[in-house]
Amino acid sequence: QMQLVQSGPELKEPGASVKVSCKTSGYSFTNYEMNWVRQAPGQGLEWMGWINTRTGSPTYAPGFTGRFVFSLDTSVSTANLQIRSLKAEDTAVYYCARGRGNGRSFFDSWGQGTPVTVSS
């Protein structure tokens, strides 16, 4: 049974960093790309980008370059999202989502979401 299990809620101060993990099971991790999606409080979904799980090469959507870093730990079938120099506007729920089609055409399985709160 396919599962994407994300790490727990985070509360961080502005300027700090946070790492969100997405541990997968029930399928071959490197056969599917991993995407990240942000949802700010009361707002819609934003596609942040994707990472090639075979090569580790990330692609970031406009607006998510510089402070956002996608990475992998293929030994434990896990994708990670790191956000550096956190700002209040980074407060959101972050989802990992398995990519299908060309890897980012659509998402057939999602993690449960990780709430990140940035506040002093």
Q: Using CB under 8 A as the criterion, which residues of the chain lie in contact with other proteins when the complex forms?
A: 37, 44-47, 61-62, 95, 97, 100-102, 104-108, 110-113
| Closer residue to other proteins in complex, CB, 39/82 | 39
CB of 31 to other proteins, least distance (A): 18
| Between 14 and 108, CB nearer to other proteins | 108
Contact 117, 46 (CB under 8 A): no
Of the pair 27, 47, the CB lying nearest other proteins is at 47
Which tokens belong to 11?
């509360």
* C-alpha distances out from residue 81 to 1, 60, 101, Å: 24, 11, 22
Alpha-carbon span 1 to 10, nearest angstrom: 27
Task: Tell the smallest beta-carbon distance from residue 104 to other proteins (Å).
Answer: 5
CA 109, distance to chain mean position in Å, is 13
Q: Which of 86/97 has CB closer to other proteins?
A: 97
Q: Report in angstroms how near the CB of residue 56 gets to other proteins at its nearest.
A: 20
Length of the chain: 120
